[in-house]
A and B are shown apart, each in its own frame.
Chain A
Amino acid sequence: MLDEALAAYVAAAREVGNPSSLHAAGRRARRVVEESRERIAAALGARPSEVIFTSGGTESDNLAVKGIFWARRASSLNRSRVVASAVEHHAVMDTVEWLGSHEGAQVSWLPVDAHGRVDPDALAELLTTYGEEIAVISVQWANNEVGTIQPVAELARLAARAGVPFHTDAVQAVGQVRVDFTASGAAAMTLTGHKVGGPVGVGALLLGREVACTPLLHGGGQERDVRSGTLDTAGVAAFATAVEITVKSQAAYAERVGELRDELVRRVVAAVPDAVLNGDPSDRLAGNAHFSFPGCEGDALLLLLDAQGVCCSTGSACSAGVAQPSHVLLAMGADEDRARSSLRFTLGHTSTMTDVDELLAALPGAVERARRATAWKTPR
């Protein structure tokens, strides 16, 4: 957590008061919440009333996809189709699948190209074919695994022209690229605290004022009657502080970390010539470097690098902890072997050239060893 966010959290957490109470302490808490709402709205080009506080990205994605689907279908039974990209985070993907298996939704997955980018023409085609049936469209702003930035404004424009609400999961994008909710044309947008240096457990859904959305959680209706639950004043204050700081420093951050990332990519490819950089080569998140290392298993590489103090990620694991071939890589046309051979290096605010040096010191040996582990038999 950023120091400023932590300080804001502690200051607010020391105060008593439920922002929904009418007494003085309640009003003081309410003021913190509303000021936070305004700061987040200002940082992201939204109106304050469009900010709905939630428990984080997963809840916001569920609320947007399910809530808009339910509301649209309630207004017209014909509206029962959900469209999402094939590279969504599980919080969207599994929600869409659930609507298909439990709510009778028809599901259309938008394909991506070899860089993981959604083709706007494919959405245009779907809108021509199913325009009257589609209840909601969800395409992430940027991919959490390979870092590819999606043509969100173009997709949102197509959706708006067809009168279909467009949701975007911008969890990865806020603070990494310039994000303006109103300018994007999206009807709903997800963001979360812990990706911007704020606390885990607090996030928001930016929801256009005119977009109907059926609640997931019923109760006091604290957030525009779309979301219930006592507001987390301290979390909200810290979240707003983090969003504000991260958005303000975004351009400088992207330049510095982007250069570091480019250096990392250049040196990884020099050290391991057959390494494949996954994702869009230029239109990608500044801190993201995602590779396939042919002949290696990603989890073996991870173990070896971890032992040398390098933390990296293979993507997703099932609940038992088994590394799974990434659905993102598979959607990009990679086979299972290439998907399993993948590893993501993420750089951030604290990353330095020393970190890149340390990775490069460990990587060639780890790759060689991981390759042997794929085919090796112990002599016996």
Chain B
Amino acid sequence: MSGGVDSAVAAARAHAAGHDVTGVHLALARNPQTYRTGARGCCTLEDSRDARRAADVIGIPFYVWDMAEQFHANVVDDFVAEYAAGRTPNPCLRCNEKIKFEAVLDRAVALGFDAVVTGHHARLGADGRLRRSVDEGKDQSYVLAVLTRAQLDRAVFPLGDSTKAQVREEAAERGLAVADKPDSHDICFIADGDTKGFLQRQLGSAPGDIVDGRTGERLGSHDGAYAYTVGQRKGLDLRVPAADGRPRYVLSITPVTNTVTVGPREDLEVSTVTASKVIWHGDSPAVECDVQLRAHGEVYPATVTIDGDTLTAQLATPARGVAAGQAIVAYQRSAEGDIVLGSATITAAAPLAAARA
């Protein structure tokens, strides 16, 4: 129970359904002092109190579990290391994979609980299939697709059939004071929302070159490649204009040479995406389906092939700004909510030109 409206309503629904429910709030900050200075996020002192209050109203026991060490090792350190390696991680996905459905689930099962209930917006019905939420704008199946079959078997998502608006309405009806609490958007361990500043403090300054992807010409310099994301246009601060005068975008980051490569928009386009660390629930190793390449990103029809621990997606229409480190999640279209077929971590994306060649 984060202290937000979703987990409060999820707990209330599980309790109302007759389960023996215990509320758990995760303390994720290593230094409790940071609880006091944290803004809206998932690890502030105020959130812990809100969660406790919600548990009181529902009428369930409530405990705070200290997961700070595991969270730091598996989510925060991983976040920094991924940026240092030129990739773009998704810490919420990691937190689901390693904290909520590993560290917390393990402890809960050992203590005699059967399942972990969360307030994620996704459907997980009797057929065991993970599906998108009815509220497409709030759907979180993308950051849950990394869960294995065994993890899903012990997961309960009571909110998948409701929209966020319905959840808020229900919270108000149930007398939960968090009903109108604002949504959290930022990365919870970066309280001020300044990811670049956070990475700078963690990784220090590492000056390197910004080069043209087509000519190899040095166009400028940067203070740390981790501050750039594939697809980024703003903040490149290039003194030399492009020959055609058109804007340039970050095409790739090469940590070995500490180089940021830029080029025109069309060079961002990729049609082949390769990924590893595959979690696959589909029956067939080769399917026509939809793929999503970043959280809340658009979906692309694709042919997905699984070969050992490698997933390859041939996109029917090119995608732009595909970053290594993000997840590729495959969905099978369904009238009852698109079904998650699997997930993998993007390792490479081949540009359109290369794919044609």
Q: Give the contacting residue for B45; candidates A300, A319, A374; CB below 8 A.
A: A319
B112 adjacent to A369 (CB under 8 Å): yes
B-side contacts of A319, CB under 8 Å: 32, 35, 45
A-side contacts of B154, CB under 8 Å: 378
A104 CB–B CB distance under 8 Å: no
Kindly identify, within residues 292 to 326 of chain A, every residue whose CB is under 8 Å from any CB belonging to chain B.
299-300, 303-304, 306-307, 317-323
Closest to A320 in B: B48
A369 adjacent to B52 (CB under 8 Å): no
> With A303-B22, A370-B111 as given contacts, are A380 and B64 in contact (CB-CB < 8 Å)?
no
Considering the chains assembled together, what is the distance between the CA atoms of A378 and B109 in angstroms?
Answer: 7
> With A323-B66, A380-B151 as given contacts, are A373 and B27 in contact (CB-CB < 8 Å)?
no
What is the distance, in angstroms, from B109's C-beta to the closest C-beta of chain A?
5
Considering the chains assembled together, what is the distance between the CA atoms of A369 and B109 in angstroms?
Answer: 10
Closest to A376 in B: B110
Closest to B62 in A: A321
B240 CB–A CB distance under 8 Å: no
B-side contacts of A299, CB under 8 Å: 63, 65
Closest to B20 in A: A307
Considering the chains assembled together, what is the distance between the CA atoms of A307 and B63 in angstroms?
Answer: 12
What is the distance, in angstroms, from A368's C-beta to the closest C-beta of chain B?
10
Considering the chains assembled together, what is the distance between the CA atoms of A306 and B151 in angstroms?
Answer: 27
B45 adjacent to A304 (CB under 8 Å): no
B22, B27, B66, B68 — which one has the most chain A CB atoms within 10 A of its CB? B66
A373 adjacent to B45 (CB under 8 Å): no
B150 adjacent to A379 (CB under 8 Å): yes
Considering the chains assembled together, what is the distance between the CA atoms of A374 and B171 in angstroms?
Answer: 35
A-side contacts of B35, CB under 8 Å: 319-320
A-side contacts of B209, CB under 8 Å: none
Kindly identify, within residues 41 to 86 of chain B, every residue whose CB is under 8 Å from any CB belonging to chain A.
45, 48, 52, 61, 63-66, 68
Considering the chains assembled together, what is the distance between the CA atoms of A299 and B24 in angstroms?
Answer: 12
B25 adjacent to A369 (CB under 8 Å): no
What is the distance, in angstroms, from B273's C-beta to the closest C-beta of chain A?
27
Considering the chains assembled together, what is the distance between the CA atoms of A306 and B32 in angstroms?
Answer: 26
B192 CB–A CB distance under 8 Å: no
> With A320-B45, A321-B25, A321-B27 as given contacts, are A380 and B111 in contact (CB-CB < 8 Å)?
no
What is the distance, in angstroms, from A324's C-beta to the closest C-beta of chain B?
9
Q: Give the contacting residue for B52; candidates A304, A321, A370, A379; CB below 8 A.
A: A321
B32 adjacent to A320 (CB under 8 Å): yes
Considering the chains assembled together, what is the distance between the CA atoms of A317 and B107 in angstroms?
Answer: 20
What is the distance, in angstroms, from B3's C-beta to the closest C-beta of chain A?
10
- Interface mask (A354-380 → B, CB under 8 Å = 1, otherwise 0): 000000000000000110111011111
Considering the chains assembled together, what is the distance between the CA atoms of A173 and B4 in angstroms?
Answer: 43
Closest to B32 in A: A318
B112 adjacent to A378 (CB under 8 Å): no
What is the distance, in angstroms, from A367's C-beta to the closest C-beta of chain B?
12
B135 CB–A CB distance under 8 Å: no
Considering the chains assembled together, what is the distance between the CA atoms of A164 and B64 in angstroms?
Answer: 43
B105 CB–A CB distance under 8 Å: yes
B148 CB–A CB distance under 8 Å: yes
B112 adjacent to A377 (CB under 8 Å): no
Considering the chains assembled together, what is the distance between the CA atoms of A378 and B110 in angstroms?
Answer: 8
A321 adjacent to B64 (CB under 8 Å): yes
B68, B102, B109, B110 — which one has the most chain A CB atoms within 10 A of its CB? B110
Q: Give the contacting residue for B150; candidates A306, A372, A374, A378; CB below 8 A.
A: A378
Considering the chains assembled together, what is the distance between the CA atoms of A369 and B110 in angstroms?
Answer: 7
B106 CB–A CB distance under 8 Å: yes
Given contact pairs A317-B64, A322-B64, A372-B110, a sample of 13 additional A-B residue pairs in the complex whose CB atoms are under 8 Å apart: A300-B107, A303-B61, A304-B111, A318-B32, A320-B27, A320-B45, A321-B27, A322-B68, A369-B110, A369-B111, A377-B106, A378-B106, A380-B149
Q: What are 20 of the A-B contact pairs (CB < 8 Å)?
A: A300-B107, A303-B61, A304-B111, A307-B22, A317-B64, A319-B32, A319-B35, A319-B45, A321-B25, A321-B48, A321-B52, A322-B64, A373-B111, A374-B110, A377-B106, A378-B105, A378-B150, A379-B150, A380-B149, A380-B151
Give the 9 A-B residue pairs with the shortest CB-CB distance, closest first: A380-B150, A321-B64, A373-B110, A376-B110, A322-B27, A320-B48, A322-B66, A372-B110, A378-B109
